[in-house]
Structure 1
Amino acid sequence: MRPIVSLLTGPRAAELIQGALTGQPGATVPGFEVMVHEVHDRIGSETSVTYHVTYGPPDHQVYEFLVATTADVDAGATVSVEGEQIRVWRHPADPRLPGLFGACTPEVLATWLPPGPDGTTEPDGTDVLVYRPLRRAVLRTTRGDQVYFTKVLRPKLGELLTRRHTLLAGLGPDVVAQPEPGVLITAAVPGVSLAVALSAWQLGQSETEPDPALAVTLLDRLPDEVLDLPTRPSWTDRIDFHGPMAAARVPDLAQEITELTADITELTAEFPVGPLVPTHGDFHEANIFCTDGRPARLIDVDTVGPGRREDDLACLTAHLAVLPALSPVHYPRGAEVAEKWGRFFEQMVHPGALRARVAGVLLSLVSGATPEQARARLSLAQDWAERARAVL
């Protein structure tokens, strides 16, 4: 664990948060308790941690959700601890996501959503699905049988997000509102995710086995105008970032990870790849939606842009490969499915190029996993790298 993560999650975290609440270093708050919620450690950039905090007398306790970061931002409080300047704020007052406050405020959100069939505007409830401090948030709102998703980005990125959704009209989510810069609201895409469809088929709850060819058809439907969007590095292109992140997750395997990172870098340079084409950029089973078990729509189109078909196919293959270990009960035939889909994709691109990139995506998935899952994913990445080397 890196020192800054230890500082923000260890015993001194309580001191830090109490200092932020009171404005007095070393102060104590009656009835104070703090629990780490999530850690967002971006090597080479900021480290942020979210906390559940309670304080006050038993009959009048206060509950808060706080965020601390090493980033130099205009936050609610600044605390100096062990030479580090830590900024702290109350969620949802994220200094780089101004739209998050409205997205989390029912009275504001009601003015953003389109009226329901009966004229209702008040939401039934909203859940935060994703929150990466200072970077992005995704919220799910229900109102009767209607479901909406609100994406919040930094304001300067809002125009590009809107453009991506406009280009993918009918293929991606339907936009229902753009209430302010950096905020975009979409209606839920009908159907279920490919992850759910695959599980249903494997458990005998559906007779329809999802077809990899139909998943590829979704990529073929991406319009040529996508090529005019900014190019984003793929997961494997950023192996020099994901390698150290993986090593920080399982430091006892750091040497193996360093060697694997170099191996993947070498292998990806060895194999030919196709031309730049429209790509999804995060093409996996949670972002592909199925109707009656058949891939039909895409979601999470924030990363759509020019890229290599090999990277989209590798992303999906890698995510399928981790499903059996992630939930063996739901994916009893998961390894078989991953192999079948991988072989199908190898008919479309160079097998070595695909396998090397599968290894790269798997390595990128190590840092966000539990220690046990991280080791399993590292082992899979090593296996796929060996398979790539076998076709040199």
Structure 2
Amino acid sequence: MTGWDESDQVRFFTDEAAPVVAAQLSTEATAELVELHHRPGAGVSGLFEVTDDGTRRYLVATTENVHGDLVEVEVPRGRLRIWEHPADPLLPGLPLASVPAEVQATWGDGARLRSLETVTYRPLRRAVLRATFDGGPGQVFLKVLRRDADLLARRHRLLSEAGIPVPSVVGPVRQQVVALSSVTGTPLAQAFMDSAEIPLPPARITELVDAMPDDLTTLPAREAWTDRIVDYASAAKVAFPAGARRIDAVVATVTGILDGEPRGPVVATHGDLYEANLFVADARVSGVIDVDAVGPGHAVDDLACFLAHLAVLRTIHPGYAHTEAFLSSYLDAFSAYVDAHGASRAGLLARAAAVVCTLIAGARDEGLPEWEAAADQRLRIAEGFAALAWGSWLIAHPGG
């Protein structure tokens, strides 16, 4: 049971775990890894599609130390816990949100459920399903949480009361499941791809940051992405070991800068502000989603998160190649904003580099032969932000 570090776990899931998982159904079953999830410091989980006698089922395996209605299997270097989806031991509402009849009865308001689709599922963490009704509430997103579903509903209500265009809460909160309406407009990620001109002026982002209501600062605080840079750098090195030394160099630069840079006052923040969580219409923000991390924080972290994700888009799809010009506009505007609000351009850039480091591991996809090139490109982006941060710091601290 020694030597079962997270690098070994990732290799085990990609190379050896499938037959172990398949054997839980029968000796004739076969399994294929569909998704791999590595949570730094916690462990690795994988979703497997298992075919047994012509029937497809989904099983989840994890190295995390969880208990419940699952099977524990000893493997040469550790232990796996395995269960059949949707019986996730830490998501009590996932079975409710996954059964069409239950969804229709609980959130349909008398309307017929037309379809129920999984949007995302992170084992042991969260899931989102999309329910579409004929009439009634129309399209509803079911967010399945480990805990604090009532707190999430409160976040939505506080934001809505402040005029932030967030989804409304639909029907009751049941078994840690919050049902949310859809928002209007085009996803900003799509707008970035479709438009040769910047689809959302930088001022609209800083206005959104300023519009976050002060009441949110009384909610529980969450660490910003930068606060866990060491953990995420470790995950990046596990996923992309060829870049380990360069990742360490970025972390050293970032932490060296941030040790002495002001962060600005504690204010209400989104906590995960980037294009996937924003919708746009007529060059304004028409929708804000995924507000699970809303609470007290620092505006510079929200803005750095936005910059980092925007910079990484071009590693995801060639249609984002033109976004580099957008990035320049946002960086100039955000630098002026943080300089006026108690932080600094050097700190903004260093935090953007840190957030890009958190995205390196996500490039790993065994089904894509070019994933290593994408990981390397993300690391180059992190290095670019770190170099700019260092240059800005030297200008602000001559002789330092």
Identity of aligned residues (%): 37
Per the alignment, residue 152 of structure 1 pairs with 144
TM superposition shift of 1:332: 3.9
Per the alignment, residue 215 of structure 1 pairs with 205
SS of the aligned residue for 2:172 comes to: strand
2:15 to 6, 10, 17: 10
Is residue 200 of structure 1 aligned with residue 194 of structure 2? yes
2:349 to 347, 352, 355: 355
Specify the code of the residue in structure 2 equivalent to 1:10: D
| Partners of 1:66 and 1:90 within 8 A in 2 | yes
SS of the aligned residue for 2:315 comes to: helix
1:49 to 34, 42, 46: 46
Per the alignment, residue 279 of structure 1 pairs with 269
Distance 1:13 1:166, change over 3 A: same
TM superposition shift of 1:309: 0.6
Rounded Cα–Cα distance in structure 1 between residues aligned with 2:262 and 2:202? 23
TM superposition shift of 1:286: 1.2
Deviations 1:248-277 (A, max 9, x none): 111011111112112111111232221001
SS of the aligned residue for 2:170 comes to: strand
2:333 to 328, 344, 364: 344
SS of the aligned residue for 1:63 comes to: strand
Specify the code of the residue in structure 2 equivalent to 1:347: A
Rounded Cα–Cα distance in structure 2 between residues aligned with 1:12 and 1:110? 36
Gaps of 5+ in 1: 23-27
Rounded Cα–Cα distance in structure 1 between residues aligned with 2:198 and 2:232? 36
Per the alignment, residue 389 of structure 2 pairs with 388
SS of the aligned residue for 1:344 comes to: helix
TM-score normalised to structure 2 length: 0.88
**RMSD (Å) for aligned C-alpha atoms:** 1.7
Rounded Cα–Cα distance in structure 1 between residues aligned with 2:51 and 2:313? 36
Rounded Cα–Cα distance in structure 2 between residues aligned with 1:305 and 1:135? 19
TM-score normalised to structure 1 length: 0.90
Following superposition of structure 1 onto structure 2, how do residues 27-42 of structure 1 map, counting pairs within 5 Å?
28=27, 30=28, 32-42=29-39
1:94 to 88, 93, 101: 88
Deviations 1:97-149 (A, max 9, x none): 0100011100000012243xxx52x3211221111111111111222472211
Deviations 1:299-358 (A, max 9, x none): 1100101111100011111111112232222x3420000111111111111211111111
Give the paired residue count.
370
Distance 1:325 1:41, change over 3 A: closer
SS of the aligned residue for 2:141 comes to: strand
TM superposition shift of 1:232: 0.9
Gaps of 5+ in 2: 1-5, 339-343, 364-370, 394-400
TM superposition shift of 1:199: 2.5
TM superposition shift of 1:12: 4.8
Is residue 124 of structure 1 aligned with residue 114 of structure 2? yes
| Partners of 1:197 and 1:293 within 8 A in 2 | no
Per the alignment, residue 324 of structure 2 pairs with 335
